[in-house]
C-alpha cells in the first residue's frame, strides 16, 4: 500500500483554528476535541487517501466524524502527497474554497 505525505495549506490551518476557537466559545474543551478528531482523521489520509470520493473535478472530501465539517484535499501522485486545501462546514457552499486556488 502506497503511503503519502500530508501537507496542510495555510488557509486550511486557519480554518481549523477558527473552528476550534468557535467550539471553545460554545463549550469548554469542545474545540480541543474537534482539533484532535480532525487531526487524527487527516493523518489517516497518509494510508487511505483514495478511500474518499472525488467531489469536485480532482478534489476529494472527507467528513470529520461527529462534527459537521469536511476536509477538501487533492492527491498528488507524482509527489506522493495529500494536499489539504480547506476545512469547511457542510452547510456552507463548497464553492467558496475554490477561490483559494
* pLDDT per residue as tens, the chain (101 positions): 789 999 999 999 999 999 999 999 999 999 999 999 999 999 999 999 999 999 888 999 999 999 999 999 999 999 999 999 999 988 766 566 555 55
Spell out the domains of the chain, with CATH numbers in brackets: 5-100 (3.30.2310.20)
pLDDT of residue 34: 97
Residue whose cell numbers read 478534489? 59
Q: What whole-number distance in Å separates Cα of residue 7 and Cα of residue 17?
A: 16
Q: What whole-number distance in Å separates Cα of residue 5 and Cα of residue 47?
A: 9
Residue whose cell numbers read 469536485? 56
Q: Are 64 and 38 in contact (CB under 8 A)?
A: yes
C-alpha cell at 52: 474518499
pLDDT of residue 90: 81
Q: Are 67 and 52 in contact (CB under 8 A)?
A: no
Amino acid at each position: 500500500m502506497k503511503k503519502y505525505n500530508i501537507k496542510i495549506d495555510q488557509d486550511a490551518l486557519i480554518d481549523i483554528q477558527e473552528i476550534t476557537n468557535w467550539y471553545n466559545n460554545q463549550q469548554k474543551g469542545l474545540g480541543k476535541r474537534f482539533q484532535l478528531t480532525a487531526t487524527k482523521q487527516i493523518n489517516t489520509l497518509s494510508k487511505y487517501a483514495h478511500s474518499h470520493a472525488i467531489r469536485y473535478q480532482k478534489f476529494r472530501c472527507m467528513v470529520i466524524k461527529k462534527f459537521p465539517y469536511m476536509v477538501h484535499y487533492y492527491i498528488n501522485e507524482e509527489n506522493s502527497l495529500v494536499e489539504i486545501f480547506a476545512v469547511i462546514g457542510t452547510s456552507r457552499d463548497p464553492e467558496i474554497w475554490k477561490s483559494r486556488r
